């Protein structure tokens, strides 16, 4: 694993997708520094982002326990961590969210 890769936090409720994503990121030289599988865990993990040195968040917005977008996660991230880009994705449907900050990306990877 390269020392120059990004420090990534994965938010994903599907274990298989999480394993594949982690494997791909690590293969590409990135460092997975944490994972969350539930909305509450994703919200609670925000406090550790500075300590973990998170540089990118991958976000499955429809997690067990609710919708991360509806929970206020993205608004909080935009206010507290505007420098951290979020790769916002989900595998079974696509609905684009129009963000007001440029570092947010919506991806439809399984049409």
Residue 50 has pLDDT above 50, yes or no: yes
Nearest to 52 by CA among 8, 2, 11: 8
Q: Is the pLDDT of residue 35 over 90?
A: yes
- The superfamily CATH assigns to domain 7-107 is Response regulator (3.40.50.2300)
Q: How far is CA 5 from CA 51, 56, 63, in A?
A: 17, 11, 26
Region 17-44: what's the mean pLDDT? Answer: 90
d(CA 60, CA 110): 13
- Share the mean pLDDT of the chain: 77
Q: Is the pTM of this model over 0.85?
A: no
- Domain ranges in the chain are 7-107
Return the pLDDT at 102.
39
pLDDT interval class at 92 (50, 70, 90): low
| Residue 16's pLDDT band (cuts 50, 70, 90) | confident
């Amino acid at each position: 694993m390269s020392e120059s890769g990004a420090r990534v936090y994965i938010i994903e409720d599907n274990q298989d997708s999480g394993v594949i994503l982690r494997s791909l990121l690590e293969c590409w030289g990135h460092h997975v520094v944490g994972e969350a599988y539930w909305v509450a865990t994703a919200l609670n993990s925000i406090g550790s982002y500075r300590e973990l040195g998170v540089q990118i968040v991958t976000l499955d917005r429809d997690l067990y326990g609710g919708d991360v977008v509806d929970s206020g996660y993205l608004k909080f991230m935009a206010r507290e961590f505007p420098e951290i880009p979020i790769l916002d994705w989900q595998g079974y449907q696509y609905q684009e969210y129009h963000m007001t900050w440029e570092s947010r990306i919506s991806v439809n990877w399984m049409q």
